[in-house]
Amino acid sequence: MNFDLHDTDLHLFPYRIVRIMQRVPAQVMDYGISLVNAPAVWRKTKGQNIRVGILDTGIDRSHPDLKPNIHGGYNFINNTKQFDDDNGHGTHVAGIIAGTDNGVGIVGVAPQAQIYALKVLNNRGVGSDRNIIAGLEWSIINKMDVINLSFGSSKSNAQVRDALVKVKKAGIVAVAAAGNDANKNGTDTVDYPGRWSDLVITVAAVDQHLQRASFSSQGPEVMLAAPGVDILSTYPNNRYVRLSGTSMAAPHVTGVVALLQSYAKAVRNKRFMPDQVRQQLLEHAIDLGQPGRDRNYGYGLIHLA
């Protein structure tokens, strides 16, 4: 893949649909929420007053598990405020981050965070880097606290990197999926923007047994690991689905960032800056694999104490 201002080659990572359901019994707390230990801090904060920009395929604005937390967005594909999800990926990501704690369906990591749907990818999960740049600029103008980037490309682009530099300078934390391109040789397969680990928090995927997902990209850029196998979350038309991919791991970390920033605002009356968030995340990581940072898990599983 090659970034170009005139090409539409930015794409979703391949992901696996495990099962689509019309409903789930009562309210389910999926294993990923438990592994990151989000409920441990819900007594203090559920992510309220934190703005989360989700650069993806849009969000199903009518889904009962998402509707209370959707506060706006924009469709950069058609230049309209109609950001409904015609793919499903963005709706699933949104549920992991901020599925509402309403007694039905599922619950997200930060169930009171304010989510914004920035539709930069079309119904096939493809978009241009100009749309990504526009979404990043929108995030700065509209004062997002954290953004989720569950997409990628195998090659770099200077304009996208410059936009992410501006995002970080604006105090916005960017979380990116590492990619689903692992190979048997274990060579560096982390995709962009995840490869820019100086600007984004790059997240690999593990299963419920804390083993690296077979598809999860490996490389020195990986910073953290989070649940990304058979993750239950929201899906368009009021449905639910289990999906697998680093696209599912990244929003677990995005939700954790929302909780950290919400707590900081409540206690310190100001949010952490991106480098401070990084330090907080490292302090809440459980080392996996080889001691210290490694190519499979980074510093380890994000886990709130």
pLDDT tens string, the chain, 305 residues long: the values are 223 333 446 788 777 777 788 878 789 999 999 999 999 999 999 999 999 999 999 999 999 999 999 999 999 999 999 999 999 999 999 999 999 999 999 999 999 999 999 999 999 999 999 999 999 999 999 999 999 999 999 889 999 999 999 999 999 999 999 999 998 787 899 999 999 999 999 999 999 999 999 999 999 999 999 999 999 999 999 999 999 999 999 999 999 999 999 999 999 888 999 999 999 999 999 999 999 999 999 999 999 98
Which amino acid appears at position 219 of this protein?
G
Instruction: Tell me the catalytic residues.
Output: 56, 89, 247
Residue whose C-alpha is closest to residue 38's, from 258, 275, 265: 258
The string of DSSP letters for 34-61 reads: HHTTGGGGTTT-SSTT-EEEEEES---T
Within-domain flag for 52: yes
pLDDT at 272: 96
Please state whether the peptide bond connecting residue 193 to the residue before it is cis, i.e. omega within 30 degrees of 0. Answer: yes
Task: Give the model's pLDDT for residue 9.
Answer: 67
Helix or strand (DSSP H, E) at 250: helix 246-268
pLDDT of 24 reads 81
Give the dihedral of Cα atoms 113, 115, 121, 127; nearest 10 deg. Answer: -80
Best CA proximity match to 152, nearest among 303, 305, 2, 260? 2
- For 245: left if phi > 0, alpha if psi spans -120 to 50, otherwise beta; the answer is left
Q: What is the spatial distance between Cα 153 and Cα 136, in angstroms, rounded to a whole number?
A: 16
Number of folded domains that form the chain: 1
Q: Is residue 264 in a domain?
A: yes
Residue 5 lies in a domain: no
In a domain, 40, yes or no: yes
Residue 176 bridge partners (DSSP):
149, 202
The gap from C-alpha 133 to its chain's centroid, in whole angstroms, comes to 17
Domain limits for position 38: 10-302
pLDDT of residue 7: 45
Per the domain annotation, does 3 fall within a domain?
A: no
Q: What is the pLDDT of residue 13?
A: 79
Residue 1 lies in a domain: no
| Spatial separation of the C-alpha atoms in residues 13 and 2, rounded to whole Å | 15
Residue 3's φ and ψ, nearest 5 degrees, are -65, 135
Q: What is the Cα–Cα distance from 32 to 3, expressed in whole angstroms? A: 33
Here the CATH number for the domain that contains residue 245 is: 3.40.50.200
